[in-house]
Structure 1
Amino acid sequence: MQLMGDALTVLGSRLGFAWDPVNRQSYLVRHGNHPGLPIQIRAGVTLGERVLTLPLAQEGQSFEFVDQEMTATTMTLSGIDPETGIHVKLTARIPFRPRDNFFSTVPVIYLSLEVDRLPSSYRWIAQYDETVEGKLFLGFSGEGFAFSSALESNAAGIEAVYESVVLRPQDEGDHQSGIRTEEETISCRDHISILSGVWEDDCVTASFSLGKGMKGDSLSLAWCAWDQPVLNVLGHRSPFKYTQSFAGLDQVVEWSIRHADEVADNSEKVDRILSNHTLGESTSKLLAQTLHAWLLNTWWVVRDNGQDWFTVWEGNCYFHSTVDVEYTQGPFYLAFWPELLELELNEWPFFGKDGKLLLGERGEGTLYLSHDMGVFGDSTKQYYPHEMEVEESTNYILLAFAHWRRSGKDATIVRHSGFIRKLMAFIACCDTTGNGIPDKGCANTVDDASPAIQYGSEQVYLGVKSLAAIQAGIQILRHAGDADAKELEVYEQYAQTALATIEEKGWLKDHYAVTLSRTMDGTVDPWTGEPKTGELLGWDAYHIYTVNGLSLLDMVGHRTGLLDERLRLDMETATDKTLGRYGCRHTSYEDTENEGQFIPGLASHSGKVGWISMNMLRDIAAAYRGLDLFHLIENYWSWQTTTNTQQVALFFETFYGNNLSFYPRGVAVFGYLDAAAGFVYDAVAGKQSFAPVRGSLQVPILLFADWERGTVPLVKSSFEGGRLTYRVE
C-alpha cells in the first residue's frame, strides 16, 4: 500500500513506535504527546559502497521501491533494490491478544529485519547471476538518546538511556488559552534484547551471501521497558498494570526472549481472525489503523486499593476517557473487549456533578456527567472548558445498559444503579416544557458545528438519546430493584411523551429536524457563556445524528419505538444531502455566519466539517435497518491516506476543518462486522439472531472468538432461490 504514517503501541503500557516514512522520520512512543520522541530507526543493507535504508531515518540512500503493510498486531516496511534483487522487510510487532490482560500489556515491542533475494528480474531490470554479498543492519540513533552494549545484563542486548516528558495540568485556564501545563521529566533506561544478530559499532548486523531466490539470516530485537508510576489517578501515582506480573526490567527482558515465537504465532492468529471478512480491503485497513490509533492512547494502571484503572486519551486533545468518545467506541468494546468498557463504567461515577449546578433547586438530588476524567498525565477531574450535561449522562446509561445485555454481567449496573437513577432524574429535569425533549444542558460534543447542531435547545439528537437512555434506565432500575413502581411509571410516561414528540414534531416529510426549537432564545453559547437570541439557522437541515443513540441498542436488540421506515428514509436523504468526498458532513446547512471559537488544542469551527466516526455509527444503525452504506468505507479510508501520506496523524477524525488527529474513536468501525451480519446478542434474555445486510457476505463474530486458538464463528450469506439466506460456521 502507499507509504503513510502509522504507530504500534503496547496496550496501556506506553511503549511503541510511530513512523512517518514520507518524511523519513520515526518516533518512540512513551508518556508524552503524540507522536512521541523523535528517533532514527536505521534499517537496511550495505551492498559494497552503497548503503540502502528504509525511510525511517534521514541518513542513507532509499530503496528504489518501498512498500508498506499493516495488520492489527504489526506494521511493516519493505524495500527492493532492482539492481541486485535484494529485498528487505522490517516488521514491528506487539503482544496483543484481545481479552488477555496479561499478554496484551507486556511492555515489549519486537522489531525484525529480514533479507532475501528475488528469484528473477525486477520489472525490466536484469539481475546478474553472481552471488550478492552484503550486510544487514538495524539500529537506532537520535538526539537525547544514548545506546550502548548492555554487558552487565544476563541477556545480550543494548541499553537505551533517554528522557521522556509527561505534561501535568495546572488548572483549567480559560476558554481562550486552553489548559495550562507544566512538564515533568522521566528518566528512562530501557533494554533492547538482541534475539538474533551481532552488536557491531552502533547497530545489530548480519552478513549475507545470496543467490537468486535465497533467503538470508534475519535480525530480531525486543525493546523492553519498565517504568515507575506515571499516571496520577485521583491524587495518587498508580503503577502500570504490567507491574503486577513483572517486578522489574530484567523480568520483562527474560519474558521477551522466551516468548518471541509465541508473540509471532499469536499475531498470525489475531490478524487472520480480523481479516476474515468480505467487506473489502479498506475495511481491513481501517480495522488495523484505528486499532493502532486506539492503542496509542491507552493507559492501564492499578490503584493502591487494587482496582484496575483503564483510560483512553482523546487523541491530540489528551483528555482521559471522554464519555462521548468512549460512547462512539462502544461498538468496539461490545464486539471485541467488553471487560475494558466495564472498567470505565466503574470509573466515571467518580466524576459525577451536582445537577443543581445547572438547574438550581430543580436539580436537587440529581447528578450529571460532563465530559472527561482528566487530561495529560492526570486522571483526577473533568478538565474540558464546558459541560455536555445531557449528552454525557445519556451516554453513560446507554453504555451501561448495552454492556449488561451483551455480557450478561449485572455487577456494574447493580453497583451503580443509584448513580444511574440520579442521571435519569437529571435528564428528565432538563425537559422544562414537559414534551420529553431536553431544553437545558444541550451543549454537546460536536463543538465545531453550527449553533443548531452544537448547542441548540430541544435537539432531536439529544431527544433520541434521552428517550433511549430513559428506556434503558428503566430496565436497569427494575433489575436492580432500585426504584418503586410509581417512579418507574413516571419514567415510562416520560419515554412515551418523548417518542410521541419526536415523531409528531421532529419529522419533516423526509427527515428528522436538527431541533424542535426555531430560535436561539434561552440558549447560552457554551464557549463564551453569552446568552443567545434570534433565529436558529439550520434547525430544519438534514443531519446524520438522529440514529447516533441507537447503534449500541441495535447490537443488543432493544428498539425504542421510533419508526424504522422513517429512520431509513432519514438516513438515506441525509446521506445524499451531506455526502462529500471523504464522508458526510454534520448537516446540510453550511454555516457561514457563526464566527465560532478557536481554542488551541480544544476546538475550532468550520462551516462544512464532518467526523468520520459519526459516519460509522450512522452506517451501523443503517445496517440494522436493512440499509447498506458500507461502500462509504472507501471515502473514509481515502481521507486517512490523504492525511497520513503527508504527516503521521493516524486516525484523522475530522475533514473539511478542525484537527482531531491521533484519535481513538475510529474503532467504531469494529461494529461493522456485527452490523453487516445483523448480529443481535442479548445475553440476559438469551437471544441471538442474524440478519445479513447483503448476499455473498462473510464476517467473523468477534465476541465469540477464541483468540488463543485462532478460531472464530463466521456468518456467511448467499442468495438461494431469490431469497437471502445465511449460515454460521
Structure 2
Amino acid sequence: MESIIGIFGSRFEFNFRPREGKIDQSGLGRFYDEPLDFALGIDVEGDSEALPFTKKHKHFPSTFMAQTMNTISYSGTSAEFLAQVRVTFNAHFYPKDEALSTLPVFLIDIEIRKAPTRIFAGDIDGKVFLRIARKDTLVDGSASGGCTLSYKADGLQVHDEIVVIGSDKKPIMPKVEGSVATILDVPYSVNEQWVHVATIFWASHVAGPVLDTKRGKVEFAYARRFKSASEVVKHTIANEDVIRKKSALFDKIFLDPAIGKTRANFLAFAHQSFVQNAWLGYLPDGRQWYSSWEGSCQFHSTIDVEYNQAWWYYCFWPELAELLLDEWSEFTETNKLGLTYMCHDMGSKRQVLKQDYPHPMEVEENANYLLLLLMQWKLTGKAAIVTSKKALIGKIVDHLIGVALTGSGFPTEGTANTIDDASPAIQYAREQTYLGVKTSCALQAAAALAKPLDDMTLENRCKAHVSLIRKTLDERAWIGDHYAVCIDKNAKGLNDDGHIFTPKPSRDGLIEGWDAYTLYTSNGMLYLLAIGLLPDLDLQRIKIDMEAAWRASLGEYGNFHSSTDHSNAWLSQNIHRDFIGMYLGLLIDQFDRYWNFQAWENSGGRGGCFVDTYGQNHLRYYPRGATGFGWFFAMAGASVDKSDPSIPVVTIRPRIAPATVPLVQFVDWAAELPSVPVLRSWLDAGQLRAAVDHASALGDVDLRIETA
C-alpha cells in the first residue's frame, strides 16, 4: 500500500507508491517532490526482480509492508530465486528533542535472506543491487566517497548526499553513469537468517529561507547546525548508535500489545502523515517558528484542523501548541458587525502572510481558539499564555455573544464551518446546534480563563450566555431522541452569493436535513472533559443523541455527516466524537473501520497516505489522523489541571472496563529510560476498579483515581 515517511519539521520525505512503480521524494516535502526510480532487487545470472518502486525491472511477485512510528519497511519475495530482500527506512522522531527529530537524514537498511522453503536446502547466491534515478536531478560523485543529488524544489536549491556503509563497516563506493547512480551491486550467499547488506545514509539540505511569514523569513531548524548535507551525514555516522537507540525507544512504547495491532497501525500511519506536514524553523531574530500544513490543501495551521489533531502535541510536544496560539493571535479579521474573529489559516504553500481559504469560519475558529487556549493553560500551568491574550479573549467573547441575534444564544452570523463538503444544513445553516453547543463550551472555557485575568465581568457574561444556550437546547433543539441540526429551518438568504462551496439550499423554502441525526452535536465538549470541567449541558440527552446519530448515519468506514447527508465521512471527526463518548462511558471505538479505510484507500482506492474523507472529497496526505492520539486521554478518562502550580492535579476517571492504557502523555521524555505509567481497569463483583502502574512516572502531582 502507499505510505510516507518524513523527518519532523524538516520536510524531507519518501512517498512510497508501489502501484505506480516509483517513490516520490524531496528535501522540501510532499507536493514539492519528484519521481525517484528506486530499483532495489536481486540479480541471478542476468535475470532480475526488484521491489515495486521501479519501472526498469520485473517486480517481486509478493511484497509486504510494515510500519512503526519511526520506520517503514518493504520486503519482497522471489519465488523463482528463493530470496527475500527487505529495505527499512529509519526516521528518528523523539518528543521534545529538536536536534534529533529534525535531523534531515534517513538510515536505510538493506537485508537479504533465503525465503523459508522446504524445496531446497543450502545457501542461495546472486547479487543485490540498488540503482536510483530522479527526474530533473543532477547526480554526481562526492568528496566523501558517496554521491550527491542536486535539484530544485519550488525554486529552492536542494542538495542530497548519499553514503553507503557495508556490513563490514567499510564504505561502498557508488558508481555514477549519467543520471543513474548504482548505489549497491554486491554478491550474496545466504541461508534463512537475515543478513545485513548495507546501511545507506541519505541526507538532504536546503540552505536559506523556506517560508515567508508575517514575522519574517524562516529557515529550517537544522540549518542553524549544519551547513550542508555532507555535514549531516558525517554527524549521523558518528552518532549512529545514539540515534538508533532513541528512535527504537520511542517505537517500543507504541508496540505495547495493550494499544492493539489495529490501533498501533493506524497511529503509526497517521503519525507519519502528520510528521511530513510539519515546518519547524527559526526567524532572523532567533524566535522559533512552527506550523503544520493541511495536507493536500497546503494551508498553514488551519485552526479547525489543529483543534482535532492537537492531541499529538499534548502527548509529545505541548510547546508547539503554545507557538501556534501565539502565531494565530496575529491573524484576525473584523466582520460586518465590527466584531473580531480568528482567521481560518495563516497562509498557504510557502507564504504565511494572510488567510488563503476563500471564506471565514468565524464562530467555529473563535470557539476552537478559546478551547485550545484553556487546554494549553490547564495542561502546562503557564498563566502567561492566558494573561498575554487578555484583549483577544475579550474580543472573541464579544464576537460569540454578538453574533447571536435572535435571543436564542445560538449564532446566526458567521456560521459557515469546517465541514465544507457537507449539505447546507450541516455546513452553514443559521442557529446550528453544533455551533450552539461549541459556543457554549467555548464560553465556559472563557469563564475559566477569566479567573487568571481577574475579570469577574467577563466570567459572568460568559456564564449568562451559556445558560441561555442551555435553555434553547432543552426547549427548542431536542426532538425526541436527538438534537436537530439547526433550529432555524429557513433557507432564505443562505449563501445567496454562492461564496460557500455547497450549492444553495432549497426545498419549499426549508433547509434540507434540518432535523437529521448528526455526529457533530457534541464536538465542542472534548477539551472541557480533558481538563475535568463538565460541560453545562444535559449529558444524558447528549449520550442519547450520540448513540442515535451513530446508528442512523453509520457507513462501512464510519459515520457520514448526517442521516440525510451521506456525501462524505470524515474520520477525524468520527474519532473526535468517539473520544467524547469514552469520557462519558459510551464506548464507540471504530479504529478497525478507520484502519480498514486507510488500507483499502491506499491499496485499491485513490491513494494519498492518510486520507481523512471517505466519499467525494479527497483530503489526502493529511495530518488530521493525529486526532487518534487523544485515545490515550479519553480511554483512560484522563484530565489534567496544572493551573495551580502548587497542586497540579491529574485525574484518571475510566468509564470502561476491562482496559489497559499506556499513559504516554505523562512520560518524562527527557529521562534516559522513560517510564510509562499504565492505567488498568477491571470489574470486581460488578464494580469498576482501576489502578495506575508506574505512577511515580507522573512526577509530583496529586493523582486522583475515580471510579464512582
Task: Using structure 2 for the length normalisation, give the TM-score.
Answer: 0.91
Partner of residue 374 from structure 1, selected from 337, 342, 347: 347
Q: Is the Cα contact below 8 Å between 2:361 and 2:416 reproduced in 1?
A: yes
Secondary structure of the structure 1 residue equivalent to 2:555? coil
Write the distance in 2 (CA, Å) between the matches of 1:674 and 1:487. Answer: 30
Q: Choose from 140, 148, 155 the match for 1:159.
A: 148
Match for residue 181 of structure 1? none
> What letter matches 1:137 in structure 2?
F
1:427 aligns with 2:400: yes
CA contact (8 A) 2:44 2:81 kept: no
SS in 2 for 1:524: coil
Bigger drift between 704-713 and 422-431 goes to 704-713
Paired residue for 2:481? 510
Equivalent-residue separation in structure 2 for 1:279 and 1:703 (angstroms): 14
Q: CA deviation at 1:656?
A: 1.9
Counterparts of 2:430 and 2:468, CA distance in 1 = 17
1:546 aligned counterpart, secondary structure: coil
The counterpart of 2:635, out of the listed 654, 659, 676, is: 676
Equivalent residue number for residue 205 of structure 1 = 184
1:373-408 per-position Cα deviation (integer Å, ceiling 9, x unaligned): 001111110011111011011111111111111122
Whole-angstrom CA distance in 1 between matches of 2:83 and 2:675: 36
- 1:722 Cα deviation (Å)? 3.0
CA offset digits 1:255-293 (Å, max 9, x no partner): 221222222222221111123253432211110111111
The one-letter code of the counterpart of 1:142 is R
Question: Which stretch has the larger CA shift, 467-476 or 59-68?
Answer: 59-68
Q: Alpha-carbon deviation of 1:162?
A: 1.6
Per-residue deviation, residues 330-377 of structure 1 (Å, max 9, x unmatched): 2222233211111100100111112xx331xxx3xx421131000111
More deviation, 212-221/524-533: 524-533
Aligned amino acid, residue 544 of structure 1: L
Distance 1:497 1:669 in 2: 33
- 1:191 is matched with 161
Q: Is the 8 A contact 2:383 2:643 kept in 1?
A: no
Deviation at 1:29, TM superposition (A): 3.3
How many Å separate the matches in 1 of 2:657 and 2:32?
A: 41
User: Which stretch of structure 1 is more off in the superposition, 198-207 or 330-339?
Assistant: 198-207
Give the stretch that moved more between structures: 246-255 or 463-472: 246-255
Match of 1:289, SS state, is helix
The partner residue of 2:120 within 120, 124, 127 is 127
The answer to whether 1:691 aligns with 2:653 is yes
Q: Tell me if structure 1 keeps the 8 A contact 2:174–2:183.
A: yes
Unaligned runs of 5+ in 1: 166-184, 591-606
Partner of 2:547: 572
User: Could you tell me whether the CA contact under 8 Å between 2:424 and 2:505 is conserved in 1?
Assistant: no
CA distance in 1 between counterparts of 2:50 and 2:416 reads: 51
Change in 2 beyond 3 A, CA 1:315/1:688:
same
Partners of 1:18 and 1:648 lie apart in 2 by 11
Equivalent positions of 1:285-300 (< 5 A) are 285-300=265-280
Q: TM-score, normalised by structure 1?
A: 0.88
The answer on whether the counterparts of 1:522 and 1:532 sit within 8 Å (CA) in structure 2 is no
Equivalent in the alignment of 1:81: 78
Amino acid aligned to 2:9: G
1:614 aligns with 2:573: yes
Matched residue SS, 1:332: helix
Given candidates 68, 71, 84, the residue that maps to 2:68 is: 71
- 1:665 is the counterpart of 2:624: yes
Q: Distance in 1 between matches of 2:301 and 2:573?
A: 17
Residue of structure 1 in register with 2:516 after alignment:
541
Q: What corresponds to 1:704 in structure 2?
A: 666
Q: Distance in 1 between matches of 2:551 and 2:287?
A: 48
* CA offsets 1:521-566 (integer angstroms, 9 cap, x no match): 3433574379978211111110000111111221111112212211
2:705 alignment partner in structure 1: none
Correspondence for 1:9: 6
- Which residue is equivalent to 2:679? 715
CA contact (8 A) 1:578 1:587 kept: yes
Match of 2:701 in 1: none
Q: Which residue does the alignment assign to 1:387?
A: 360
Aligned to 1:520, what secondary structure does the other structure show?
coil
User: Which residue in the other structure is 2:700 paired with?
Assistant: none
Higher alpha-carbon deviation: 455-464 or 498-507: 498-507
Give the AA of the match of 2:568: V
SS at match of 2:682: strand
**Matched residues in 2 for 1:398 and 1:478: separation?**
15
CA deviation profile, 1:176-235 (whole Å, cap 9, x unmatched) = xxxxxxxxx222222112233512433232634435334434211122122121111127
Asked if the contact 2:42/2:49 (under 8 Å) is kept, the reply is yes
Contact in 2 for aligned 1:698/1:714 (Cα 8 Å) = yes
* CA pair 418-104 structure 1, distance change in 2 beyond 3 A: same
Specify the alignment match of 1:650 in structure 2: 609
What are the residue-to-residue correspondences of 1:344-383 with 2, within 5 Å?
344-354=324-334, 357-359=335-337, 363=338, 366-383=339-356
CA shift for structure 1 position 326:
0.6
Please tell me the root mean square deviation across aligned C-alpha atoms, in Å.
2.1
Letter in 1 for 2:651: S
The 1-side partners of 2:108 and 2:685 are apart by 52
Q: Distance in 1 between matches of 2:126 and 2:215?
A: 55
Q: 2:203 is matched with which residue: 200, 215, 224?
A: 224
What is the alpha-carbon distance in structure 2 between the residues aligned to residue 329 and residue 231 of structure 1? Answer: 23
| AA partner of residue 15 (structure 1) | F
What percentage of residue pairs aligned between the two structures are identical? 31
Q: Which moved more, 1:141-150 or 1:529-538?
A: 529-538
**CA–CA separation in structure 1 for the residues paired with 2:331 and 2:77:** 54
Is 2:96 the partner of 1:99?
A: yes
Partner of 1:177: none
Aligned counterpart, 2:563: 588
Q: 2:298 pairs with 294, 318, 336, which one?
A: 318
Once residues 358 and 50 of structure 2 are traced to their aligned partners in structure 1, the CA distance between those partners, rounded to angstroms, is 46
Tell me, yes or no, if the aligned pair for 1:460 and 1:513 is still in contact at 8 Å: yes
In structure 1, C-alpha distance between the alignment counterparts of 2:572 and 2:130, rounded to whole Å: 37
Q: State the AA in 1 paired with 2:678.
A: L
Look up the SS of the partner of 2:681 in the other structure.
strand
> What is the correspondence of 1:237-316 to structure 2 with a 5 Å cutoff?
237-316=217-296
Name the SS for the 2:584 alignment partner.
coil
In the alignment, which residue of structure 2 is the partner of 1:109?
106
Contact 2:7–2:102 (Cα < 8 Å) also in 1: yes
Q: Is contact 1:331–1:552 with CA below 8 Å preserved after alignment?
A: no
Asked whether the 8 Å contact 2:76–2:86 carries over to 1, the reply is yes
Cα distance, 1:108 vs structure 2: 1.2
SS in 2 for 1:103: helix
5+ long unaligned stretches in structure 2:
176-180, 694-708
Q: Corresponding residue for 1:399?
A: 372
Secondary structure of 1:635 counterpart: helix
TM-superposed CA distance for 1:127, in Å, is 1.7
Contact kept? 1:446, 1:453, Cα under 8 Å = yes
Q: Residues 444 and 454 of structure 1 are in contact (CA less than 8 Å); yes or no, is this contact kept in structure 2?
A: yes
Taking the TM superposition and a 5 Å limit, the aligned residue runs for 1:453-468 are 453-468=426-441
Q: 1:206 to 1:216 in 2, by over 3 A?
A: farther
Q: Return closer, same or farther for 1:415/1:525 CA change in 2, 3 Å cut-off.
A: farther
- Note if contact 1:460-1:512 (Cα within 8 Å) is conserved in structure 2: yes
3-state SS of 2:386 partner:
helix
How far did 1:50 drift?
A: 2.2
Q: How many residue pairs end up in the alignment?
A: 673
Distance between the aligned counterparts of 2:126 and 2:110, measured in 1? 14
Q: Which of 515-524 and 50-59 deviates more?
A: 515-524
